[in-house]
Amino acid sequence: MSIAHALAFRAARRAVRPKAPLTVSEWADANRILSGEGSAEQGQWKTSRTPYLREIMDALSEDAPHRKVVFMKSSQAGGTECGSNWIGYIMAHAKGPVAIVMPTEKSLNDWMAQKFDPMAKDTPSVANVLATRSNRAGDNSAQRKRFTGGIFYAKTAGSTAELKSTSLRYAIADEADEYDWSTLQGDPLGLLEVRLTTFHDRKLFVVSSPTMKDASRIEEQFEAGDQRRYMVPCPHCGERQHLKWANVRWQKNGRRCASAWYACEECGAVIEEHHKPAMLAAGRWIAHNPGAPWPSYHISALYSPLGLGLTWAELADEWIDAQDDPAKLMRFVNTRLGETWADRSHDVKPNVLQARSEPYELRTIPAGCLVLTAGVDVQDDRLEISIIGWGVGEKCWTIDYHVLPGNPSDEKLWARLAEYLNASFTNGCGKTLKIEASAIDTGGHHTHAVYAFVRSGLVRRAIAVKGASTPGRAILGKPSHQDVNWRGQTIKKGVALYSVGADTAKHLLYNRLNGDADKDPGERKVHFSQQLEAAYYDQLVAETFNPRKNRWEIKKGKRNEALDTWVYACAASHHPELYLHKWRAADWERRRQMVEPEMQQHENTSEITTRNEEEEDFIRPRRVKSRGSFATRW
């Protein structure tokens, strides 16, 4: 037999010889090279670094029986790397048409630049099959790349309709919760599944971090699957458990987390983070809904290997920092815990708040109320005012809610407002309290009337404010001076306009209202007088937060003046000559001695003398130098 015949015979024998079984994790361990362009660790891929990914990848292998695999995860948990390994495996071994669908053009371009292109360049087994592609432009574009035995499509969720005439054997739906589900062509995931029906051995990998409860497609897919969780053994008692955020404990040093550990759910023993590598290596996936049509997996950032994610202490820091900001809290729950977020602003009901009202009269000062501020909302035919009292431990009381009818263009209305805001209030010890700062809204049609009132100085520490449209702003921002002389120069003692982070203040209020739900009256942070009308509560909770749009939205047909005036009164408490939010326990005690000298402390004693966990978050108030400041008169 000639040499040519021998080579032809060997080639023919290789062509008909069955392929040896190979899993995705085996292929990745043998072939995948990680580049510094998109990976935290460069060099050879090692599944042993993230052992919880092995079963997920192997469920995608050519010989695995599964037609769909679902992975609901925290961010940076390795889901994208699973998909990249699978695409490399398909190109080099399994063959067939494959597509990846990303939410947006930007996310697709980032994935191509950070994952696919480095793999195509640095992983020889992938580079070799791509090297034989046709030079025709249509076979090698940004969204289509031909390789030996197949073709790879890269699409966005909005362009899945372009795949209508395309049959796919494999597909990845990455970050599925971020897809635009309003497309007229139908839902992108459904369109993708239709493209796969031609192949009997098709496979779909759905991977994403979740978003909103009852609106999350990845949670829907996870719950319809067999709900596998990675069960790891306790290093002390050996009991297997999946790691939960509720079992993480930490110790604080000031405002930061000094150390964190995990409490075993079975024996309560302390599990240190250095135990994690052995626990992960010994872990295994266990289905909690066996018999479901496809495997579904869930993992959180608690499982992040040492050096490949945040430590438990760093996670605790993020959690602590997010407590007064639902937008941050939602991000933590979605991206760190890999769980859906249930918005609780819808849970605050006006009738429930009214049922919490307490037996004190409006315009009286309850025990513990130490400082008064006011918020004024300007309407075309009236002024609406809230007076809010503040005390130790972030407690507040609605002291009065009042409406002054009249045209804001009429100076007489502003004279009545000055008379109202300059009134004195007497507490149970016979001491007089006055409103120490007022914030007046300028966002309507009477901006300059508000400026004139503030400029007049008729009311102590009156400031002009305007709600900021950007989310996450400080409750009271830095002022911008509005008065200029004929040369265009700022008049230093002229009126200043302060921006108000209204969304931040609303988050603060709603969090406290929710937190008060199961507390006794003496432990609540927000207190209401039994004399407030039902309409007040309707207005106070007239808005709900839309996390998808990251903004507050007023309920249809509702008015929100009570909410707005509470926000402005809260902003007034942040006045630069007051800074109530930065008062320490000693500052509150000094004020208590001034206004409640004869009152024995009962419920407030522990709050003032003992630095509880909430008070440790207080910042030392800055000693301002402004003349007449309350701080400088101590």
The CA distance from 319 to 306, in Å, is 19
Cα gap 315→301, rounded to integer Å: 8
Helix/strand/coil (H/E/C) assignment for every residue in 157-222:
HHHHHHHCCCCCCEEEEECHHHCCCCCCCCCHHHHHHHHCCCCCCCEEEEEECCCECCCCHHHHHH
Beta bridge partners of 490: 484
369 and 427 Cβ atoms separated by less than 8 Å = yes
Return the pLDDT at 96: 92
Supply the pLDDT for residue 624. Answer: 32
Q: What pLDDT does 602 receive?
A: 44
> 88-115, pLDDT tens digit by residue?
999 999 999 999 999 888 889 989 998 9
- Domain 22-235+285-309 coded CATH 3.30.470.20: no
Name the band, by pLDDT with cuts 50, 70 and 90, for residue 17.
Answer: low
Element (H, E) at 72: strand 68-73
* Residue 375: alpha-carbon gap to chain centroid: 29
Of 314-328, 484-498, 512-526, 588-602, where does mean pLDDT reach its minimum? 484-498
Q: How far apart are alpha carbons 213 and 124 in whole angstroms? A: 43
In angstroms, the CA 65 to CA 203 distance is 9
What pLDDT is attached to residue 626?
33
pLDDT, one tens digit per residue, over 28-47 is 999 999 887 767 678 899 99
Q: How far apart are CA 12 and CA 5, in angstroms?
A: 10
Contacts of 374 (CB under 8 A, 6+ apart): 385, 386, 387, 388, 421, 435, 437, 438, 439, 568, 569, 572
Mean pLDDT (the chain) is 85
Every domain of the chain and the residues it spans: 22-235+285-309, 347-633
Q: How far apart are CA 354 and CA 229, in angstroms?
A: 43
Beta strands in 361-420 (DSSP E): 371-379, 382-390, 396-405
The pLDDT score that the predictor gives to residue 603 is 42
Residue 177 in this model has a pLDDT that exceeds 80: yes
State the CB neighbour count (10 A cutoff) for residue 334.
22
Share of the chain above pLDDT 90, in %: 60
As a whole number of angstroms, the distance between CA 464 and CA 393 comes to: 28
Q: What angle do CA 31, 35, 39 make, to 5 degrees?
A: 105
Phi and psi at residue 441, to the nearest 5°: -70, 135
Q: How confident is the model at residue 620 (pLDDT cuts 50, 70, 90)?
A: very low
pLDDT higher than 60, residue 531: yes
Express each pLDDT in 407-421 by its tens digit: 999 999 999 999 999
> How does residue 328 score in pLDDT terms, banded at 50, 70 and 90?
confident
Phi/psi-derived region of residue 38, left when phi > 0, alpha when psi is between -120 and 50, beta in every other case: alpha
Contact between residue 568 and residue 439 where contact means Cβ atoms under 8 Å apart: yes
The structure's pTM equals 0.66
pLDDT, residue 264, reads 95
Structure tokens at 340: 């859906």
Indicate if the pLDDT at residue 595 is higher than 90.
yes
Are residues 618 and 585 in contact, defined by beta-carbon separation less than 8 angstroms? Answer: yes
Mean pLDDT of 468-479: 85
- What's residue 188's pLDDT? 78
Looking up tokens 């092995």 gives 54
What is the end-to-end Cα distance of the chain in Å, rounded? 108
Sole residue written with tokens 């080639």: 11
Give CA angle at 111 (110, 117), nearest 5°: 105
What does CATH list as the number for 347-633?
Answer: 3.30.420.240
- Distances in Å between the Cα of 482 and the Cα atoms of 78, 115, 493, 496 are 52, 51, 10, 6
Q: What is the pLDDT of residue 611?
A: 34
Higher-pLDDT residue of 633, 566: 566
User: Which amino acid is residue 365, in one-letter code?
Assistant: I
pLDDT of residue 9: 56
Ramachandran quadrant class, 231 (left: phi over 0; alpha: psi -120 to 50; beta: rest): beta
Q: Tens of pLDDT along 221-237?
A: 999 999 999 999 999 99
| DSSP per residue, 84-150 | HHHHHHIIIII-S-EEEEESSHHHHHHHIIIIIHHHHHH-HHHHHHHHTS--SGGGEETTEEEETTE
- Tokens at 573, concatenated: 């408490």
Q: How far apart are CA 352 and CA 429, in angstroms?
A: 32
Between 181 and 530, the higher pLDDT residue: 530
Contacts of 103 (CB under 8 A, 6+ apart): 156, 157, 174, 175, 178, 179, 180
Helix or strand run (H / E) with residue 258: strand 256-263
455, 494 contact by CB (below 8 A): yes
The four Cα atoms 249, 255, 256, 260 give a dihedral, to 10 degrees, of -10
What pLDDT, on the 0 to 100 scale, is given for residue 492? 63
